[in-house]
Structure 1
């Protein structure tokens, strides 16, 4: 029987930090986060919406995120509730699952999609919160779904990709990713390549392009390598969502590389060593990566040349970076939102929320933030 072990990221970091042992004791090197660097603030963020929901486990890297559709913001509570807000007015709130929620929100085509750790997928009506349908998957759902072509595409934690009809929740197809014995506890979300194809990333550092209508595989390619000597050091997961920009597919991997793949000829254009579990940000000619050790690095998209590197935030458990207007934003373990000049990597400002920043998104030039402590908020440039 094949068994698959999901390893919490924090435990992996602790394991990799072992520096010596004897028959009766193990010495662990403690890694301290860098203190906040002193900066001359030239810019700041202004909050336009905030709401508190239940906190999530500090050891479980759930990516509960806010989403918006038609001017309405949808908020998921890990205790099992989903709510809709227009401005500061709550339009509705629904108890969706007594077993809690572990993934979402994806809001599109008049649906709100969330899931839980028992593999239950829920579709709600955007206008009323009424439950339209539910579906049972074969594994936990710990990353948001994708709605495309009247399909809800979801990756379960056992490595199965599911497609369900948006209208009635009937399963249309399923695609099984290769079994991997060891992996981090985390999944990349499916991402649209074009109007029909999607890309799914796996724990074995492969990416798979699949037809969203039929489930037929169109391409598979390994995009990262790890040369560790143990199972832990060979972990090479792609947990950050891939990014598609023109002909480029950009991926990051844990203990691997940041890679640019040419979708036209399926060849790797460049690959640079970097360990990251976060989605990269790609804007203009820049690829911005937050590594697991807290470095922020910018690469040139066509060559992979390093444009700059900032190590002032080492070991601060950085979130995924995003571009808000002309500034790069990244969150950290203390809830700070660091504002970075994307041309130089210089820190130019910061704002503060509450709890480790787990998810950053930019929708309609506003920053959507979700933290481990349950602080969900929307910000804009001041």
Structure 2
């Protein structure tokens, strides 16, 4: 079972962590974030929309996000509501769970999907917000589902992968990942490889490629290694979603490596030591990683050669990086959105949202931001 314990991060995210099965409390030294560096801003962002929901727990790894479909956005509230907007106009609002929402929202094929810590999975009608179906899974859900090929693919916190029929909610198949006794609290969301297959990353440092229709695994491969002596030193989770780009599968892990695998040969092409709980991003044949220490690093996608490293944002609890236009963007613990030149790593601008940035997504030249304080915002280049 994936334990509900948060191990101490290298950047001093927590002042208190619970480790092992004894629930023994261990003090973790807090590391002071680097001050914001002075920059000569040449680029900036402008907010085009903001939506407010309840805040999440500051030490909870929830990564709630806006669901997007047909020009509408769907905002999941941790208190259990889902709201649909067309621009700034509210279309509908549905209270669906007294147990709150811990994962979502994702939208597609006519439905909006969210889930909660009780393991309840909900599918709502995109047009009306009415619940189309609901299912009880085996444990808490902490990452968004994937809607693909008429299926809703969900990874529960105990390592069970579920596939449900998108129309009826009928369970089509399950796939059980190996049990992990000790891990970071958090999971990577399922990722589409192609229209027929889905990739799931797990806390045992393996990735699994599964046939979406049948549930039959097509590949399993370890992509990270850790030789630490203690349980904490051996933590080697993959909590950030791997990225598929052509023949490449790029993954990061905590206290492990950034790894590039060839999907055709199923062989690791290169790996570089890098600790990250965030998903990498690929742009212009470069791989960008926000490391747990706050280092922002760029690598050549073909060779793994390090191209540059920015250390101006150390201990600022960076979000996953995203690409907007021809610029790199990363958020931090103070809600600052940093604009970075992807060719040099230089900071070239910044903007500010409210609360620690938990996730970034770039879709159709707009940046979708979610924060710990419950602020969803949409940005574009000025």
**Given the two structures, how large is their TM-score scaled by the length of structure 2?**
0.95
Report whether the alignment pairs 1:370 with 2:370. yes
Equivalent position to 2:6, from 5, 8, 26: 8
The answer to whether the Cα contact below 8 Å between 1:187 and 1:240 also exists between their aligned partners in 2 is yes
Pairwise CA distance, 1:201: 0.3
- How much has 1:57 moved relative to structure 2? 0.3
Alignment match, 1:354: 354
Q: Distance in 1 between matches of 2:164 and 2:251?
A: 26
Q: Aligned partners of 1:367, 1:61: CA distance in 2, in Å?
A: 21
Q: Is 1:200 the counterpart of 2:203 in the alignment?
A: no
Taking the aligned partners of 1:57 and 1:317, their CA distance within structure 2 comes to 15
Please give the per-residue CA displacement for 1:11-37, whole angstroms capped at 9, x wherever unaligned.
78659999xxxxxxx985431000000
After superposition, what is the alpha-carbon deviation per residue over 1:35-91, rounded to whole angstroms, capped at 9, x for unaligned? 000000101100000011100001111010112110001111000000011111000
Instruction: Indicate the residue corresponding to 1:143 in structure 2.
Output: 143
Q: In the alignment, what sits opposite 2:53?
A: 53
Say what the alpha-carbon RMSD is for the aligned residues: 1.6
Pick which of 70-79 and 28-37 moved more.
28-37
Cross-structure match for 2:39: 39
Unaligned runs of 5+ in 1: 19-25
In structure 2, list runs of 5 or more residues that go unmatched. 17-25
> Number of paired residues?
373
How far apart, in 1, do the equivalents of 2:14 and 2:136 lie? 36
Look up the SS of the partner of 2:43 in the other structure: coil
Per-residue deviation, residues 135-181 of structure 1 (Å, max 9, x unmatched)? 11001011000011100000000000000000110000000000011
C-alpha distance in 2 between matches for 1:149 and 1:99:
29
**Partner deviation per Cα, 1:297-329 (whole Å, 9 max, x = no partner):** 000001000010000000000000000001000
Q: Is the 8 A contact 1:16 1:233 kept in 2?
A: no
2:230 aligned residue? 230
Distance 1:150 1:226, change over 3 A: same
Q: Is the 8 A contact 1:10 1:59 kept in 2?
A: no
Contact 1:260–1:270 (CA under 8 A) maintained in structure 2: yes
Distance 1:264 1:174, change over 3 A: same
Secondary structure of the structure 2 residue equivalent to 1:6: coil
Taking structure 1 as the reference length, what is the TM-score of the superposition?
0.95
Q: Secondary structure at the match of 1:214?
A: coil
